[in-house]
A = this chain, B = another copy of it.
């Protein structure tokens, strides 16, 4: 398919590279920051565009991978196109693109960084279309990239994105708290590598309810009290206490 990419961030970079690799024809890239746009266009060996109002109108699919707040602006500025216009955002409803007769969503569930290689064939691609043919075309496109393609409504996707904030962003915050605690004792964060890998793998394999361990899970108040004393500030103590209570609330004493 002929694909046009709008946006030059992490998602646009990873998706466009995967699309090229899958044999699609990337028609061009458009972005606000022209040096980023040129950089990505060069990587893909396509033409860079700086204004969304002047992009070609003959692509089969336009993928809008810009910040959530900018999607409406991009949609308003784009020329009238016959092809499918889809955004890649978790939290933005499909209706943001209602201007176009064929519109949809192409949401990859992954935390992308430019510096990291991602195996796109394992990334869940969540698809929505405003009609059955649009959904079908986006699904066909997604299947050329990934073995995990799923239809998903706007409402489901909003919940999925929210769950991802907990399972990725908030998880990373817990890693950062651990790093802060370790720094005080001159222990490098790298000591955590195997523990965090196993914690992630175990939860994925047997589910987080079965894989919960630790003092709060066991109701071991003496360890919890000692750990509270070790924490360097009141805010961190509040976090420790709050999360411990969440864990304790999930398990009745008889489940120990």
Interfacial residues, chain A to chain B (CB-CB below 8 A): 67-69, 91, 109-111, 113, 115-116, 118, 122-124, 148, 150, 152, 155-156, 158-179, 181-182, 184-187, 189-209, 211-218, 220, 222-223, 226-227, 230-231, 235, 238-240, 242-243, 246-247, 250
Contact = CB atoms under 8 A, between A and B. Distances in A.
Given A110-B195, A111-B199, A173-B243, 10 more contacts: A68-B223, A110-B194, A111-B195, A155-B185, A165-B227, A169-B217, A172-B199, A179-B208, A179-B209, A197-B197
B181 A162 contact: yes
A213 B111 contact: yes
A109 B191 contact: yes
Contacts of A206: 115
Contacts of A191: 109, 124, 148, 150, 160
Interface class of chain A by DSSP:
helix
Contacts of A165: 214-215, 227, 240
Contact of A200 (B190, B199, B211, B246): B199
A202 B143 CA distance: 26
A198 to B, nearest CB: 6
Contacts of A168: 195-196, 199, 213-214
B113 A211 contact: yes
B242 A246 contact: no
Contacts of A115: 206
A233 B99 CA distance: 35
B181 A163 contact: yes
A65 to B, nearest CB: 14
Contacts of A222: 68-69
Given A91-B223, A191-B150, A169 B242 contact: no
Contacts of A122: 194
A216 B169 contact: yes
Contacts of A214: 165, 168-169, 172
Given A162-B230, A164-B195, A202-B113, A175 B169 contact: no
